[in-house]
Homo-oligomer: A and B are copies of this chain.
Amino acid sequence: MKKTTLTLALFALTPFSILASGQNPLKVTEKSLPIPVHASQEVQNTLAVLPAPLNSGSVKAIAVPSTDGEWKAHISEFNHPTEVQGRQAAKDLNVKYGVENINGVEIYTLTPANISEKNANNLFLHIHGGAWIYGGNDALLREAVVIAHKLQMPVVSVNYRKAPVHPAPAALNDIITVWNSLLAERQADSIMMGGTSAGGNLTTAATLRMRDLGMPLPAALFIGTPAADVLKNPDSRFVNDGIDALLGTWDGLIEASVELYVGDLDPKSPYLSPVYGDFTGFPPSILVAGTRDLMLSDTILLHRAFRDAGSHADLHIYEAHSHGFYMLPGKDRTNFYAEMNNFSDAYIGRYNDITPTKVTVTFKLEDILLPESK
């Protein structure tokens, strides 16, 4: 039997200083991942039919647009199927929607067929995802419609300005503008805010901005598989590279989108990368990700940071989910929205028995918006 000294040392968690210098970075050999038997049937079915280009090499092979015109065409092509899905979902789930304008920011207002009595005075402020460049216009309906339907709550979704035409902090300013307008007409405590991916990033960053400004904060946050760091730092960017079936890899398209969004600003600003934020006084939050998710690390890092700052934060991780798989129709989506319902009941339900009183104040826009380049 071969000497097992090294394994012994590891299992025993002995002082690592006595070990020989290691393999840094760690080399991981080629491997095969079978269909995960404990994943939901929908995830198993999805993984069974996903085409080969999902591994990182092939995603990397997709050309990154290089001119403004190419980006515009690419974003338009990319958004199209999601827009079709969003409009279809609104029809299927009987959610009515309209488009309005608040202080120059376009918002979608969504009204589900049934608004539960407890949510009569409540509102969900939705921040859509899409790497800060995709997912706007009717494409934002896909998630917003499901939220309105599942929570039986009115939704306002911010069609914030996006890169490459409008880099940061335009999106943040649009969210803050809408927030400020909402405060003029209702109590902050009656609003839950949230979204997925870039929407999770912007939800967290905008709440940091509101906190820093001394504004009243939302009653609760939903933070879905957020990009908490705009740089390729979180460990799951590497561990799940070529494994996340939705995104494949951070390199290439996503990285290019991030660069367009960040522009000349500091990527380590908490308003851009909330993972560097201080979350003192943050509202309660519900976070979700998957084990095959490129943003798994981002999600668990924010969960820890929220809790370490003394806020209530609940973490939900789903087996073999790639980025945003909880939005796939099926068992896991039903399951997660049940959690979200219980969560919203617990944190905005407190105000259901009383008529909301407007104790909030609005701020002058010129005092609260971040400087934008002209």
Partner-B contacts on A (CB < 8 A): 1-2, 4, 6-14, 16-17, 19-39, 45-57, 59, 61-63, 65, 70, 73-74, 77-78, 80-82, 85, 134, 142, 229, 233-236, 238-243, 245-246, 248, 253, 275, 291-292, 296-297, 300-301, 303-304, 307-308, 314-320, 324, 327-328, 335, 339
Contact = CB atoms under 8 A, between A and B. Distances in A.
A51 B239 contact: no
Given A55-B23, A74-B1, A275 B339 contact: no
A23 B51 contact: yes
Contacts of A38: 229, 233-235, 275, 297, 301
Given A2-B63, A20-B49, A335-B308, A233 B37 contact: yes
A20 B12 CA distance: 48
B16 A46 contact: yes
Contacts of A17: 49
A282 B38 CA distance: 21
A339 B291 CA distance: 22
Contacts of A81: 8-9, 12, 14
Given A7-B62, A314-B314, 12 more contacts: A1-B65, A4-B62, A10-B50, A11-B78, A12-B81, A19-B51, A22-B48, A33-B239, A36-B233, A38-B233, A38-B234, A291-B297
A115 B355 CA distance: 47
Nearest to A21: B49
Nearest to A34: B25
A314 to B, nearest CB: 8
A59 B7 contact: yes
A78 B297 contact: no
A339 to B, nearest CB: 7
Given A38-B229, A38-B233, A27 B32 contact: yes
Contacts of A35: 24-25
A235 B292 contact: yes
Nearest to A2: B63
B63 A291 contact: no
6 contacts: A1-B74, A23-B51, A23-B52, A31-B238, A36-B234, A291-B297
B52 A22 contact: yes
A15 B77 CA distance: 18
Contacts of A314: 314-315
**List of 4 A-B pairs having minimum Cβ-Cβ separation, nearest first:** A36-B235, A12-B81, A300-B317, A22-B50
A291 B46 contact: no
Contact of A241 (B31, B47, B301, B304): B31
A49 B297 contact: no
B12 A82 contact: yes
Contacts of A23: 50-52, 54-55
A239 B234 contact: no
A196 to B, nearest CB: 11
